[in-house]
């Protein structure tokens, strides 16, 4: 059984904090005035990779080194944040790191992964093709394939939940973006380990809502396509292990449209002077959608990342919503 006890999560947090300082959580008055709700923002856009995934990579690579000492290199497929996190942690542990991305991936994210020390390979024109190539290369080159979801990833990511709940223990509700589920499961694990009553709400794109429908149905369901610019939550098939954990523990799910996400990005910029990527803004979009329900309560949103594509950000800050014509499925 996964060890998400408080001593285990505190130990994981100490390991994370050896490399990554705690990120801030602020109650921005302009947000509160706009929404009518006391709103705390957990700034995971302030990590060394600009996203929360850096935390889980530290504990995962530590586990890998202890349990598979023969491994000299890892490989994974990504569109950005997962890849940056794994490369950073792997190189810090003395491992080689190969990352496979599809052709047309964001140049800024490719550059960041190379800067952290990745051998970057472009293959195919969608995430599934890149992942298939990563699996093939793992066998051919003797590399360890890193998954998108794993209990050791959750243990590290839970450090942001501990930071948030230690600072603001009387939260009524926390809204958490959901891609493959490590963030949602980690927030729940931290809440439960601390014995709090805070409701944890998962947030997905309304255009790729398989996790929401799976939660509501109590069984794994899929979405046929993933047309959304919020690529970090563009997951067509949820991870069964994640669903098994958050299914009985999350309070509810909310789906937000691309227009709502673009509006939330603009609001973050205006009210907090922070730039959120699409997936990073879905939690705020959900709170705005439910602002009447949350009236008079103390609420937190996870700003899970700030690695937006420059072209898309220019469109959004100019008042538009990017229209995606490429299937972004499982874009971790």
Tens digits of residue pLDDT in 27-52: 999 999 999 999 999 999 999 999 99
Tokens representing 188?
Answer: 């729940």
Q: Is the per-residue pLDDT at 191 higher than 90?
A: yes
Note the pLDDT tens digit of each residue in 279-293.
999 999 999 999 999
Say if residue 330's pLDDT is above 80: no
pLDDT-based confidence at 103, cuts 50/70/90? confident
Instruction: Assess contact for 279 and 53: CB atoms under 8 A.
Output: no
The candidate with the shortest Cα–Cα distance to 82, out of 104, 50, 46, is 50
Please tell me what DSSP assigns to residue 246.
H
pLDDT of residue 226: 83
Q: Average pLDDT in the 301-324 region?
A: 94
Q: Name the band, by pLDDT with cuts 50, 70 and 90, for residue 329.
A: low
User: Which pLDDT does position 128 carry in this prediction?
Assistant: 76
- The mean predicted confidence, pLDDT, of the chain is 94
Please report which helix (H) or strand (E) contains residue 135, including its range: helix 127-141
Average pLDDT over residues 114-127: 92
pLDDT tens-digit map of 229-264: 998 898 888 999 999 999 999 999 999 999 999 999
Residue position matching structure tokens 């792997």: 90
Instruction: Scan for tokens 């449209």, then name that residue.
Output: 257
What is the C-alpha separation between 235 and 205, in angstroms, rounded?
9
Closest CA to 229 of 202, 251, 261: 261
Of 92-101, 125-134, 189-198, 272-281, minimum mean pLDDT range: 125-134
Residue 193 has pLDDT above 90, yes or no: yes
pLDDT for res 28: 97
Q: Which residue segments constitute the domains of the chain, with CATH numbers given?
A: 6-52+151-317 (3.40.50.1100), 53-145 (3.40.50.1100)
pLDDT of residue 79: 79
**Quick check: 305 pLDDT over 70?**
yes
Residues 31, 272 contacting (CB under 8 angstroms): yes
């Amino acid at each position: 059984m996964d060890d998400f006890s408080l001593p285990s999560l505190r130990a994981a947090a100490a390991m994370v904090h050896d490399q990554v300082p705690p990120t801030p959580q602020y109650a921005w008055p302009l947000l509160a005035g706009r929404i009518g709700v006391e709103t705390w923002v957990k700034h995971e856009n302030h990590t060394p990779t600009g996203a929360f995934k850096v935390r889980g990579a530290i504990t995962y690579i530590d586990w890998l080194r202890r349990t598979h000492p023969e491994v000299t290199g890892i490989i994974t497929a990504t569109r950005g944040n997962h890849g940056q996190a794994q490369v950073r942690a792997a190189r810090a542990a003395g491992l080689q790191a190969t990352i496979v991305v599809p052709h047309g991936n964001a140049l800024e994210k490719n550059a960041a992964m190379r800067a952290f020390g990745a051998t970057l390979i472009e293959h195919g024109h969608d995430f599934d093709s890149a992942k298939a190539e990563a699996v093939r290369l793992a066998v051919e080159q003797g590399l360890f394939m890193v998954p998108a979801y794993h209990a050791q990833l959750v243990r590290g990511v839970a450090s942001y939940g501990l930071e948030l709940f230690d600072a603001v223990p009387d939260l009524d509700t926390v809204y958490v973006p959901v891609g493959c589920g490590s963030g949602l499961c980690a927030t729940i694990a931290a809440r439960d380990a601390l014995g709090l009553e805070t409701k944890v709400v998962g947030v997905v794109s309304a255009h790729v809502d398989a996790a929401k429908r799976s939660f509501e149905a109590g069984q794994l369901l899929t979405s046929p396509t993933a047309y959304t610019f919020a690529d970090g939550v563009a997951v067509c098939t949820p991870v069964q292990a994640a669903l098994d954990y958050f299914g009985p523990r999350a309070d509810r799910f909310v789906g937000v449209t691309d227009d709502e996400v673009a509006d939330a990005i603009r609001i973050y910029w205006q009210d907090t002077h922070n730039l959120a990527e699409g997936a990073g803004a879905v939690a705020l979009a959900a709170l705005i959608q439910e602002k009447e329900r949350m009236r008079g309560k103390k609420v937190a949103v996870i700003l899970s990342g700030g690695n937006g594509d420059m072209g898309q950000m220019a469109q959004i800050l100019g008042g538009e919503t990017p229209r995606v014509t490429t299937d972004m499925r499982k874009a971790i």
